Chain A
């Protein structure tokens, strides 16, 4: 898919995020928006998946380790055709298959339940080692937050992945720089992120603009070519990207827009969409 098309999809994903979180009156827009491009790239370009057969055995797997950004994942899955976009409005509602955090059993296209930070990456590593054990060719991707890597389990998983030389695994770090309590380097700095993963025997790719499709394309291509070690992509992103008043604001980590804010956000995204159509 051309970058322009991907940009259009990412804009739709952003609309899905805002719509679902507004309808739920709760949820996590900031970290969903920062990852809109990577969700889009994974589901529309990188991964071998089939929305008509979400459980096919040899599909690539994705584990959203930073599970609170489920609105971003759901919007991408819906845009890709795993379930109706209209259903995004049921997010977090009683009886909905779109739980506040991803649920393996209920949602088509979701490969692992997650949300308790630090745990998803271990499951992803387990899937990758599983493929190696039975000589299967699928690849495994997992998205972790830059705040999430404060969890010790992330590094247990990284040590294991490096030891097992899991070159079918890509750990993506959404480095938007903010967590609930503020800037990650003021709360409890995980920096340098790249050197840490390198020390755990990962091939590390720093992506200066993780909201840019050219940069993502180059990084994922490089990851595919790496043999004998897992890859970590450290994506520099903007939290709240695409909605002016949410950008780089820790306060929008886990808060829903009110009706007025929703209107402003959707107008901005509509405009962005129109601009893309005129390109």
Chain B
């Protein structure tokens, strides 16, 4: 197999912040002592006067971001997914989302692929936490290229946005001519007729790998990349479900309240078909190499392949 290029989505976050910083004077980046890990140190180096390190105080950081947004700045508040959405949940809800302030939350180290740090830092709940907040836009890019596009799209809309990035270097899958990021629009990466795999984040690459293996077994899988989890592209999902009659969702997140739940919410209303959810099944993560954990929890290509195959049978 040819060597695939791998880059972490958080790299795309850091690079696009620098690019946008050059274009827009009102862009401000906030950190809570994790600038190196969230990759915002690139912005800090380029625009030190527009980078604010709040220290280890995420709740205050979200409030500072709200104050900046209320006075015309466009703040990107950065931390790990665990702290941005977990510790600071209520600040995000009450200080940012309730007044619908133009704050972008850039969260890295989402999901189990954090790896060795273990369960305390592996946030598998962030999408669920952000989904339940009215008016919150949620973007979970599948690779480095999509991450960059997502950051730009987040800047361009008015209102709160949650951007989800990973620590792990993941395959670059969108380096194709004609790739276009449209906020709120899913992308059909492969057409199929027997089953639909709706995937998000690093599971998109797993879904593509699984679809190839399924093809060899005579199963035609349609693969849809859902980068924007809210607002969800219900049309693309419903149309595909009506065509294939079976849907599998795949996400590096708990199956409670994430993409799988969002897809089920949509399908039970518009196109009730059997759904199989691939994700973390109501357990905490654990320490270990990221790739090994993805295998253990069935989120790699082989894991998705096996689950889809037994579901379609």
Contact = CB atoms under 8 A, between A and B. Distances in A.
Contacts of B52: 129
A18 B179 CA distance: 61
A112 B28 contact: no
A133 B49 contact: yes
Interface in A107-133: 111-113, 115-116, 118-131, 133
Nearest to B88: A153
A193 B147 CA distance: 46
B309 to A, nearest CB: 48
Contacts of B203: none
Contacts of B62: 122
Contacts of A119: 59, 63, 90-91, 94-95
A112 B103 CA distance: 14
A157 interface: yes
A160 interface: yes
A63 B68 CA distance: 13
B121 to A, nearest CB: 21
Q: Is the interface of A mostly helix, strand, loop or mixed?
A: helix
B73 interface: yes
Contacts of B274: none
A103 interface: yes
B134 interface: no
B67 A116 contact: no
Q: Is the interface of B mostly helix, strand, loop or mixed?
A: helix
Report which residue of A119, A131, A163 has the largest number of chain B beta carbons within 10 angstroms of its beta carbon: A119
Q: How large is the interface on B (under 10, 10 to 19, 20 to 34, 35 or more residues)?
A: 20 to 34
A159 B68 CA distance: 17
A127 to B, nearest CB: 4
Nearest to B63: A122
A129 B66 CA distance: 12
A116 B49 contact: no
A39 to B, nearest CB: 20
Contact of A123 (B73, B90, B95, B100): B95
Contacts of A189: none
A57 interface: yes
A127 B99 contact: no
A53 to B, nearest CB: 16
Nearest to A163: B55
A107 to B, nearest CB: 11
Contact of A160 (B60, B90, B95): B60
A157 B60 contact: yes
Nearest to A142: B67
A153 B105 CA distance: 19
B65 interface: yes
Interface in A30-75: 57, 61, 63
A156 B57 contact: yes
A149 B100 CA distance: 26
Contacts of A163: 55
B219 interface: no
Nearest to B50: A133
Contacts of B98: 103, 113
A133 B50 CA distance: 7
B120 interface: no
B236 interface: no
Given A113-B98, A116-B90, A119-B91, A156 B60 contact: yes
B67 A122 contact: yes
B60 A129 contact: no
B64 A126 contact: yes
Nearest to A115: B94
B63 A127 contact: no
Contact of B72 (A105, A122, A123, A130): A130
Interface string B13-40: 0000000000000001000000000000
B31 to A, nearest CB: 13
Contacts of A63: 67
24 contacts: A61-B71, A103-B99, A104-B70, A104-B99, A112-B67, A112-B99, A113-B94, A119-B59, A119-B63, A119-B95, A122-B60, A122-B91, A122-B95, A123-B95, A125-B60, A126-B63, A127-B67, A128-B67, A129-B52, A130-B72, A133-B28, A133-B50, A159-B55, A160-B54
Given A122-B63, A125-B64, 8 more contacts: A61-B71, A104-B101, A105-B100, A122-B64, A122-B66, A122-B91, A127-B70, A157-B63
